[in-house]
């Protein structure tokens, strides 16, 4: 049987004794690429019921069945943190979604701004990147990845109790801008497009009481770098990197 070294996200509920039907891509990966056979162990998670060790019960070229044997980790939810970002070139947008998953964002929201400069965003592909990142980093939760929405519409419907960390290079640093005392209520991080926000967008954000403006340092960062830096700094000050998380 051996130790399970492969982690796989499955889009169906899992639990003790639960049979898990594999799709063609999963079966090809496990049995053709990784050359597993009946009796082999892998780790599976569904984003809701933690991580389970499962054994291969049936192995075929285009399908297969796993049986969940024992839970190996409970579901660990990320902080209530959303990432809003203007999509950029494909590979760098993929990078943002991957790193947001690894760094503990609960929701990823691509937004169309006045100066967003990107090809058509394939959100289904971004969702696959989030799944792959969760498989690789040991996470038991996969963030929600939304369809692209106009920033103006997102802000118009913005919850009154969710603050926004708007990364504005002209203001104080994150450490000075974020509240003290472990305030971990609902938050979002907002990263603008490569061309920056329009004056209208800046005025709208500045007028919102939920918005906290902060700089990410003395150098202007690329959008993908800024997303990672902002998530890291928020996690270090207010997220689940703070204190003993067990």
CATH of the domain at 191: 3.40.1280.10
pLDDT at residue number 175: 61
Across the chain, what does the average pLDDT equal? Answer: 90
Is the same domain home to 38 and 104? Answer: no
Domain total of the chain: 2
Least confident stretch, 29-33, 149-153, 179-183: 179-183
Domain annotation covers residue 245:
no
Domain boundary among the residues 34, 49, 73 is at 73
Indicate if the pLDDT at residue 2 is higher than 90.
Answer: no
Is the same domain home to 149 and 213? Answer: yes
Domain boundary among the residues 73, 92, 126 is at 73
H or E element, residue 177: helix 174-177
Give the Cβ contact number of residue 3 at 10 Å.
7
Least confident stretch, 64-78, 79-93, 118-132, 157-171: 157-171
Domain annotation covers residue 173:
yes
Is the same domain home to 168 and 231? Answer: yes
- Per-residue b or e along 35-64, where b marks 16 or more CB atoms closer than 10 Å to that residue's CB: ebeeebbbbbbbbebbbbbbbbeebeeeeb
Domain annotation covers residue 244:
no
What letter would DSSP give residue 31?
I
Domain boundary among the residues 55, 73, 91 is at 73
pLDDT tens-place string over residues 13-46: 999 999 999 999 999 999 999 999 999 999 999 9
Domain extent for 181: 81-238
Domain annotation covers residue 92:
yes
Q: Which residues contact 1 (CB under 8 A, 6 or more apart)?
A: 39, 40, 41, 55
Is the same domain home to 67 and 112? Answer: no
Is the same domain home to 150 and 69? Answer: no
Closest CA to 186 of 85, 95, 92, 106: 106
Is the same domain home to 90 and 162? Answer: yes
Indicate if the pLDDT at residue 76 is higher than 70.
Answer: yes
Domain annotation covers residue 103:
yes
Is the same domain home to 32 and 100? Answer: no
Is the same domain home to 89 and 69? Answer: no
Is the same domain home to 128 and 228? Answer: yes
pLDDT tens-place string over residues 208-219: 999 998 888 888
Is the same domain home to 203 and 91? Answer: yes
Q: What is the pTM of this model?
A: 0.90
Is the same domain home to 122 and 210? Answer: yes
Closest CA to 201 of 108, 86, 83, 80: 86
């Amino acid at each position: 049987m051996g130790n399970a070294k492969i982690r796989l996200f499955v889009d169906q509920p899992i639990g003790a004794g639960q049979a898990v039907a594999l799709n063609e891509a999963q079966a090809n990966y496990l049995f053709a690429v990784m050359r597993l056979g009946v009796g082999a162990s892998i780790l599976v998670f569904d984003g809701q019921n933690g991580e389970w060790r499962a054994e291969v019960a049936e192995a075929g070229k285009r399908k297969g069945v796993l049986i969940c044997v024992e839970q190996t980790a409970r579901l660990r939810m990320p902080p209530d943190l959303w990432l809003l970002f203007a999509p950029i070139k494909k590979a760098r947008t993929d990078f943002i979604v991957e790193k947001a998953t690894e760094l503990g964002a609960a929701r990823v929201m691509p937004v169309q701004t006045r100066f967003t400069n990107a090809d058509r965003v394939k959100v289904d592909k971004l969702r696959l990147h989030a799944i792959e990142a969760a498989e690789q980093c040991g996470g038991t939760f996969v963030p929600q990845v939304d369809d692209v929405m106009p920033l103006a519409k997102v802000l118009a419907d913005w919850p009154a109790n969710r603050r926004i960390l708007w990364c504005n290079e002209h203001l104080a640093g994150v450490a000075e801008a974020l509240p003290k005392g472990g305030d971990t209520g609902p938050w979002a991080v907002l990263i603008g497009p490569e061309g920056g926000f329009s004056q209208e967008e800046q005025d709208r954000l500045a007028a919102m009481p939920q918005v906290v403006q902060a700089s990410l340092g003395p150098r202007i960062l690329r959008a993908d770098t800024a997303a990672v830096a902002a998530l890291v700094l928020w996690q270090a000050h207010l997220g689940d990197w703070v204190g003993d998380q067990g």
